[in-house]
Structure 1
Amino acid sequence: MIPQEQNFGPLAGIRVLDLTSNISGPSATCILADLGAEIIKIERPGAGDDARGMGPHMQGESAYFLAINRNKQSVVIDIRQAEGQRLIRRLAQQVDIVVENFRRGVLAKYGLDAQSLRADNPRLIYCSLSAYGEEGPDANKPGYDAILQARTGMISITGSRSEEPARSGVSVLDMGSGMWSVIAILSALHHRERTGEGQVVGTSLFETGIYWMNYHLLAYQATKRDPVPQGTSHTAFAPYGSYQTADDLLLIGISNDSLFGKLVNALGHGEWAEDPRFRRNNDRLLHRNELNDLLIECFLQKTCGEWLDILDRAGVPCSRIQKVSQVYHDPQFEAMKMMCTVPHATLGTVSVPRLPIRLEKSPNEIKTGAPVLGQHTDEVLRRYGVTEEELVTHKANGVIG
């Protein structure tokens, strides 16, 4: 086997067979790819990863797919065919990691489950992502991000009290599960470095949602009351949340009494800090509505930009509630170089957000945009030992594309 030329990042030399689709699994392998691992993304003939069909599209390319499939190689193999399954097993014997997010039991039918693949490659780290986990009455149920946000209680606390509950505007459980998967994989790599043995690792959207709800679960033990949606406010602090200014919405976060003093002095109402209703955070929580009435009237007197200048100078945490179009022009966004422009086979170039981590000695890098379907099939299979004669036969039989 001739390895792919991959000489950047702390995971350079690590090879990953990516059997994932949609958001959760590709989020995990995207992180591994940006850290330098070689990612061989297996896609089904015809449509490929379901994410390719998720709109909106740019010249036929899905924004969803572009975001989390950069730095990967697309190989089309029909795993429903016996020859396709044999190809996958040949690849799995030569890689370090397999990542999959199929429904529980599906890959076992094809002989591509952890037990089957690790029998041929004991050093293999096999990572499974699922909706509900590997045990329990719902282990075989399908589930997507919003479904699991509902199941784990997240939706019940999101939104405002005056409206119906809302899901998070980003796929926090999909991407969060991807992050936990990477943590598990890196831990397993460290274990293998010491012992020489691979292992099965994994997580689920259900487990991720329960973990994200951690302090609400603990608060329920203390109060025996269900938390309710708070909008932009916070159950533990006051004042905390958004206020309408003369032209836009401003969000402030006051998490202690010292910050409250800075806020009211900046507003020109230092006397509020001495008001018995507002002197301590617990007092302000009890009299939140009265305090909010005062703040609502005050913030309407100036524009959001004027208040931002005043509060920034006073050291009060605050922000305009920005739209995506405004984020693109945020000076901090530009200074942190959050977007990377990389080559793409059909778009020419595409800009994608970088990983939010920094490594001094082995920096991560995005070298290529997301692949078009089957872009690397021949190249990868040759590199992993498939002969020209086999390629011709497999193409003729629809095993590869």
Structure 2
Amino acid sequence: MTTDKGNGAKGPLTGLRILDFTTNISGPSATAILADLGADVIKIERVSKGDDARHMSPQWNGESAYFLAINRNKRSMALDFTKPEGREIILKLVARSDVVVENFRKGVLEKYGLDSVTLVRQYPSLVYCSLTAYGEAGKDQWKPGYDAVLQARTGIMSITGSREEEPSRAGVSILDAGSAMWAAVGILSALFHRERTGRGQIVGTSLFETGIYWMNYHLTSYQATNRDPVPQGARHMAFAPYGTFQTADDLILIGISNDVLFEKLTEAMGCAELASDPRFAHNPDRVANREELEQILSARFRQYPSAVWIERLEAAGIPCSPVQKVSRVYRDPQTEALDMLQKVQHPHIPELRIPRLPVRLTETPAEIRSPAPLLGQHTRVILEEIGESHRLQELVDKGVVGV
């Protein structure tokens, strides 16, 4: 374990150093998890422009909202590793690091001797993680890809939305975020293995593999039925009633996954006779007669405002929720009760609040200790840590580093 320079962390990964070559969403989301858990993450960025995510919209006082959300707790070093002096500095950092994470296109880092095979051979205790679009095998391993492209490729778009002829991407980058989670799981597993054996290893995941895994029960169901699933909107193909309903003023969503809940629903809605109706008595019956059931319930739901229905349904123990917009989620009392939006002191943005890691640890809590760094904010101090501060001006003049 590499002892860091006192980043103020209390988390379980305090003392670990992560060298982060990642850009955009998936890789930085993975290293954000590790940083929140206490690791010292050194983010290597291009000298002139930095991470591409710095330029994503919307911009807020000159900072990208995307970048702010997933680069907290990191230190930024602006460095050009394509130059010999830059590569030399990188190797010094690798020698002092526990983990390297990258999401370059396949073949890029090989040109500079910074690929997984080379570095793990040179540093046997190193854990090296690569996030790619299509994985490490097959003819598509060389292709670039983004979240929406891989949602299309892995079938997620074909089952998302309301109409088969108009597929939709998920409203959040589920493959970027998902592959980030798998990368973090893989890295932690490799570190546990190293703790027992002293040996590092190569870790890999991809957006494609994540998409296939997220489609697990659809791919299994296809084998059983030989039928392609179609978009269900807010419905669930396995249950009814399950989905959104328009009330007198707003949309709500209910989830009825068994006969007991359906009976409670009908009592709460004042139509208890539906529970004994042979068309709806059991879940397979309700799925088969979904359209008719939804018409009956929709007419009832339109009679009262959403707040009335939510109160009634919750009192009956029915899983339900208003369909909230972001503005309501931001002010949701449960968001506040869980302290999900943590205040961060950023030099350009007063009162910045960022969603914390959704994990609770009683002894070694995850936390947001610092905002996303400015480009090259920590170049000088990192050079000091590896004994290269005397070369700072020379390296700046040559365009090797930025401060």
What per-residue deviation string (whole Å, max 9, x for no partner) do you get for residues 220-271 of structure 1? Answer: 0000000000000010000000010000001000000000000000000000
Q: Which stretch shifts more, 379-388 or 362-371?
A: 379-388
SS of 1:160 mapped into structure 2: coil
Offset, 1:14? 0.2
Query: Which residue number corresponds to residue 141 of structure 1?
Result: 143
1:345–1:372: 8 Å Cα contact kept in structure 2?
A: no
1:243–1:251: 8 Å Cα contact kept in structure 2?
A: yes
Q: Distance in 2 between matches of 1:24 and 1:196?
A: 28
* Gap change, CA 1:2 and 1:378, over 3 Å in 2: farther
Q: Distance in 1 between matches of 2:234 and 2:65?
A: 28
Offset, 1:350? 2.0
1:48–1:373: 8 Å Cα contact kept in structure 2?
A: yes
Offset, 1:330? 1.1
SS of 1:369 mapped into structure 2: coil
Query: Which residue number corresponds to residue 15 of structure 1?
Result: 17
Query: Which residue number corresponds to residue 62 of structure 2?
Result: 60
What per-residue deviation string (whole Å, max 9, x for no partner) do you get for residues 285-319 of structure 1? Answer: 11111101101100000000010011010111110
What per-residue deviation string (whole Å, max 9, x for no partner) do you get for residues 324-354 of structure 1? Answer: 0011121111111101111223324521000
Query: Which residue number corresponds to residue 396 of structure 1?
Result: 397
What per-residue deviation string (whole Å, max 9, x for no partner) do you get for residues 20-75 of structure 1? Answer: 00000000000000000000000001110000010101100000000000000000
2:290 paired residue among 270, 284, 288: 288
Q: Distance in 1 between matches of 2:277 and 2:54?
A: 58
Query: Which residue number corresponds to residue 24 of structure 1?
Result: 26
What per-residue deviation string (whole Å, max 9, x for no partner) do you get for residues 88-144 of structure 1? Answer: 111111100000000001000011111222233211100000000011010000000
Q: Which runs of 5+ in 1 are unaligned?
A: none
Count of aligned pairs? 400
Q: Distance in 1 between matches of 2:363 and 2:389?
A: 39
Q: Distance in 2 between matches of 1:155 and 1:58?
A: 31
Q: Which amino acid aligns with 2:211?
A: G
Q: Which runs of 5+ in 2 are unaligned?
A: none
Q: Distance in 2 between matches of 1:258 and 1:329?
A: 33
1:100 paired residue among 99, 102, 105: 102
Q: Which amino acid aligns with 2:309?
A: W
Offset, 1:163? 5.8
Query: Which residue number corresponds to residue 81 of structure 1?
Result: 83
* Gap change, CA 1:171 and 1:59, over 3 Å in 2: same
Query: Which residue number corresponds to residue 342 of structure 2?
Result: 340
Q: Which amino acid aligns with 2:393?
A: V
Q: Distance in 2 between matches of 1:305 and 1:200?
A: 52
Q: Distance in 1 between matches of 2:350 and 2:323?
A: 33
Structure 1 residues 160-199: aligned runs within 5 Å: 160-161=162-163, 164-199=166-201
TM-score normalised by structure 1 residue count: 0.98
2:3–2:17: 8 Å Cα contact kept in structure 1?
A: no
Query: Which residue number corresponds to residue 297 of structure 1?
Result: 299
- Identity, in percent, stands at 60
TM-score normalised by structure 2 residue count: 0.98
Query: Which residue number corresponds to residue 219 of structure 2?
Result: 217
Query: Which residue number corresponds to residue 270 of structure 2?
Result: 268
2:164–2:230: 8 Å Cα contact kept in structure 1?
A: no
CA RMSD, Structure 1 to Structure 2 (Å): 1.1
Q: Distance in 2 between matches of 1:310 and 1:275?
A: 22
Offset, 1:162? 6.5
